[in-house]
Structure 1
Amino acid sequence: MANLPSNVNHIVIWLDQRFSLPGSNERMKEKFRHVTNPLKTFDKPTVCIDFIDSVKDKKIFLITTGPFAQDLVREVHDLPQIEFIYIYTHDINDHSRWVRQYSKIGIEHLINFDENLLECLIHDIGGYLMRDGDKCERGRELIQAKQLYEYAKGLYDQMSTENEEFKEISNELHQRITKLSSKSRLKS
């Protein structure tokens, strides 16, 4: 995967009461860190909310578990730095009743399996990076656009063997990167 470009301004935050337990979800956390770096974990809602309040210059992709979900969402939903909220829970039906009132959580963001959570997160972060790359490209910041596209492609490539849509997006990103590389050579 490409190195994290300096113009990437997002962070993944995960609030889960089990993170303080030794050995809890270590394999899953490592997988998420590998794919969604940076990943910041919390096990206490108040500490998590304080951190979110302190982050003004990054977009946040927030994951929370069922026990914390409703109170946390109510507290942070309207903050401008929150891009998406994911609720990782075993009881999707229970949460689907109240979650509809919040626009930053779609029903697809109620997730009960870690691979689905990872896939949804990659799709949303990749889309976010592509939109930022598009802005850079329109602003003639071609190097920055290429870096964002490369990083997004690296994310999609992580899951493209299992997901046909991710293969198509990865191919589209490859074409954009190739086009930008050609433009850069022409300007040299």
Structure 2
Amino acid sequence: MAASEQVIGSNVVLLWLDNHIGQPENCHELKEQFVTSTAFIHLFHEVEPCTQFIQTVKDKKVFAIIQGRYAREIVPCLEQHTSDPVVYIFCMDVGEHSDWAADRECIVNGGILNHEGDLLTRLTQGLADYAISKASEHQSKKRACEEWAKNLIQEAKRLRTEQCTLMFKTDPFSDKETPCAPPET
């Protein structure tokens, strides 16, 4: 597993609720295609175990593929128990879900799809977009930490110089008995 997958992937939960695809003996090639392209998928073929699982997910980004017949039941659970989930409704009749789903941001961010290739493409792009946003967030945090460290180092040098002139006869940052001298800049 690549380092980026370990970092980003550890924060991602991918689940798929479908009464046919969720069965272990069904759709091996399709599931393999998704696992190869995306990440580990938690598969469910019944609502109750899926609901119980969703309730245990804490502090993770959830990407959910939901069979159309379960969407109205499971989407509120996802919205209630997870933060900003992305939901892909996989169904035969896109029109059947378009009206009620149009008001659900999690579905607008994912989509309503009826072709597995489109679903895989959208899901892979959604995961890529999330990874990019996390990388940007980490870069910003890194820059902020580096700036903070730089300021702390300068403050430590200022304090050291002040302390050397007032109190110390040896360098407080060294175990050696050395004359206290101004720090190098």
TM-score by length of 1: 0.68
Q: Which residue of 2 aligns with 1:95?
A: 97
Q: Which residue of 2 aligns with 1:77?
A: 79
* Partner SS state of residue 105, structure 2: coil
Contact 2:110 2:126 in 1 (8 A): no
Give yes or no for the alignment of 1:24 onto 2:29. no
1:104-158 deviation line (CA, Å, top 9, x unaligned) = 11186000001100110111111111010001111227xxxxxxxxxxxxxxxxx
* Partner SS state of residue 20, structure 2: helix
* Partner SS state of residue 62, structure 2: strand
Q: Which residue of 1 aligns with 2:172?
A: none
Q: Which residue of 2 aligns with 1:6?
A: 7
2:7 & 2:110 partners in 1: Cα distance? Answer: 30
* Partner SS state of residue 34, structure 2: helix
* Partner SS state of residue 105, structure 1: helix
Q: Which runs of 5+ in 2 are unaligned?
A: 144-185
Contact 2:79 2:85 in 1 (8 A): no
Give yes or no for the alignment of 1:124 onto 2:126. yes
State how 1:1-188 maps to structure 2 within 5 Å.
2=2, 4-8=5-9, 9-19=11-21, 21=23, 23-106=25-108, 109-140=111-142
Deviation at residue 7 of structure 1 after TM alignment:
4.6
1:2-49 deviation line (CA, Å, top 9, x unaligned) = 452235300110000014546311111111111111211001111101
Contact 1:62 1:85 in 2 (8 A): yes
2:104 & 2:51 partners in 1: Cα distance? Answer: 18
TM-score by length of 2: 0.69
Contact 1:96 1:107 in 2 (8 A): no
Identical-residue share of aligned pairs (%): 26
Higher-RCO chain (CA-CA 8 Å, sequence separation at least 6) = 1
Deviation at residue 79 of structure 1 after TM alignment:
3.2
2:141 & 2:84 partners in 1: Cα distance? Answer: 25
Query: Who wins on radius of gyration, i.e. which is larger?
Result: 2
1:140 & 1:5 partners in 2: Cα distance? Answer: 18
Change (3 A) 1:108 1:138: closer
Contact 2:16 2:41 in 1 (8 A): yes
Q: Which runs of 5+ in 1 are unaligned?
A: 142-188
Q: CA RMSD in A?
A: 2.0
2:46 & 2:23 partners in 1: Cα distance? Answer: 12
